[in-house]
Amino acid sequence: MNLRMALFQMDIVFGEPEANKKSIEQYFKKIDSTVDIVVLPELWTTGYDLDRLDDIADEGAKDSIGFLKQLAKYYHVNIVGGSVAKQTSKGVSNTMLVINRKGELISTYDKAHLFRLMNEEAFLIPGNDTGLFSIEDQPSAGVICYDIRFPEWIQTHMTSGAAMLFVVAQWPLARIDHWKALLIARAIENQCYVIACNRVGEDPNNTFGGHSMIINPWGEVIRQAGTEEEIVCDSINLSDVNTIRKTIPIFDDRRPDIY
């Protein structure tokens, strides 16, 4: 099965959800009907304006969900909706939203690993569920930024059959070499496609590194952006996953009895 991806490598206006929604609308106007899945970056509504989350976080993510549902139906496209700051009774979570072509919410995932270097643990609550979902009837998984530093977490999803790993991020330029190396490693060790969307631009504390990537199950980068705003498009062939997993059957050869 072939699927065409469009990754919105965008700048994000610090703490301005309405301005960022307008940017997203403009990005959607640039894609064509061949696109099957759109991917947005992490915290695209607010950026890392963590100090003001009590004021600007989306209650139950209802506004963000409604916004993405409308876009999915209008453009007849699946959306891996990056993540948003979701206000809940227990606090604010960093939540990925996945919407299908019909405008139905098919998955949510709360970021499991909070990044202390950006003070996430002081403002956000961690999630406890996996990021597994099915899109276009294909088993998939979604994780958020810092999650990719935990290979055992990623493999939890892959041993459940996921063939695509969607990564959304606000990864700083200072550690962009880590971003690239970790994503390639996750593709190789899990024999899956990695579709990774990072933001660009700056906020008061960070410069972000872009380099959104689409990586095949051999770990080959088939598309990579630079550090400017752009839409990263390419197609993937999911039959490659089964072929490679049969060629080197790492999941059959695992030894969970000793590790």
List of E strands, 13-89: 37-39, 58-59, 78-88
Mean pLDDT, residues 179-196 taken together: 98
How far is 220 from 192, CA to CA, in rounded Å? 11
Output the CA torsion sign for 194, 176, 77, 92.
positive
pLDDT at 108: 98
How much is the pTM?
A: 0.97
Which candidate in 111, 120, 192, 197 is catalytic? 111
Percent of residues, the chain, with pLDDT higher than 70: 100
pLDDT at 3: 98
Q: H or E element: which one contains 247? A: helix 239-247
Question: Which top CATH class is 2-253?
Answer: alpha beta
Using alpha carbons only, give the angle 50, 181, 134 rounded to the nearest 5 degrees: 70
Q: With cut-offs at 50, 70 and 90, classify the pLDDT of residue 52.
A: very high
Strand pairing class (58-59; 37-39): unpaired
Which candidate in 42, 120, 180, 197 is catalytic? 42
pLDDT at 122: 97
Which candidate in 86, 120, 145, 192 is catalytic? 145
Q: Is 42 a catalytic residue?
A: yes
Distances (CA, A) of 197 to 160, 180, 210, 254: 23, 12, 8, 30
Q: What is the pLDDT of residues 94-136, one digit of tens each?
A: 999 999 999 999 999 999 999 999 999 999 999 999 999 999 9
Q: What is the pLDDT of residues 227-251, one digit of tens each?
A: 999 999 999 999 999 999 999 999 9
Q: What is the pLDDT of residues 3-32, one digit of tens each?
A: 999 999 999 999 999 999 999 999 999 999
